[in-house]
Amino acid sequence: MNVPLHNKITIDTYMTPLDHPEFAGHEQIVFATDNETGLKAIIAVHNTNRGPGLGGCRMWNYASANEALTDVLRLSKGMTYKNALADLALGGGKSVIIANPRTDKTPELLRAFGRHINRLSGSYITAEDVGISSDDMEIIGSETQFARGTDATGFGDPSPYTALGTFVGIKAAAKHKFGSEDLSGLTVSLKGLGHVGYDVARQLHEAGANLIVSDIYDPAVTCAIEELGASSVSPDDAHLVKADIFAPCALGGGLNAATIPELKVAVVAGAANNQLETQEDGAALMKRGILYAPDYAINAGGVISVALGEPGASDSIVRQKTLAIGGTLAQIFDRADAEKRPTNIIADELAEERFQHHHNPA
């Protein structure tokens, strides 16, 4: 068959998910669409050695499908490490819906997504993430039993537990770096005031920290100024301000070769996923003397609540395991100091010890 030159160029340069630089031996990658509702989604299951791949669904107005694929591949791998480090009998997965959550979200689209989840027969279990609320999960859960974080499957909204674990992790980082977990008088630059970020900001305020906040959603910033006595900067400047702690609580990839040299903090500890653009960025932080709390260790509270918050479960058990995040981070910090290696590498090794050679009989 004779192929026109412009088509041949397209074919020769086309990248499959298997060729993607973020592909890391993922077990399953599914592209899901629905013409009637406009649904365009990607579901990625990274590893199921310890159990089904559990991870939230993110709804975001990605600039391209490739950008969405990059995000879901990184996020799903991160969930494998997060669930293993939290010692849960679960693997890692993630999903993204390519749409604007403020303008494109409809019940019909969410139900269509739920039907796609159901077709995977339990290899992937979804929950909420950026752009998806607990109410949205109720709609998704009406079409599939493989949805968590709903009233029918546990404690509902997991974001308070994510925020609690992040706050506990910030205190653990402060204790390691400054010698005390007392946050009063410390200045925290917090980027991202969504469900999790705002709750973290509230707890920091109650602990006596001074807040500098930023978010792309101006009403959230206004609330933080009025309710928490915060000052504000633009999201682009959040990492530039002089503070004791930088708490990224928005999207990932913000710590990289361009931003790390600009940091004026002693600690980076926040709830955002995939904060490091590359593994080498952890070494760059260490070289600058900045203590980094590995993201999937500090933000595991939400997935703990989703995993353990079955109907009839005790909230105290979930809170106890979430509070243990502080101890996990202390272990990572101490080992990193002793071995003079980056905290992200230490966290990875601890997680890999738990999932690489573990196979769920189911």
Residue 118 one-letter amino acid: N
Catalytic residue of the set 40, 77, 82, 94: 94
Maximum CA extent, the chain:
72
Q: For residue 227, what are the CA distances in angstroms to 183, 204, 247, 360?
A: 19, 13, 19, 47
Residue 94 catalytic?
yes
| Catalytic residue numbers, as ranges | 94
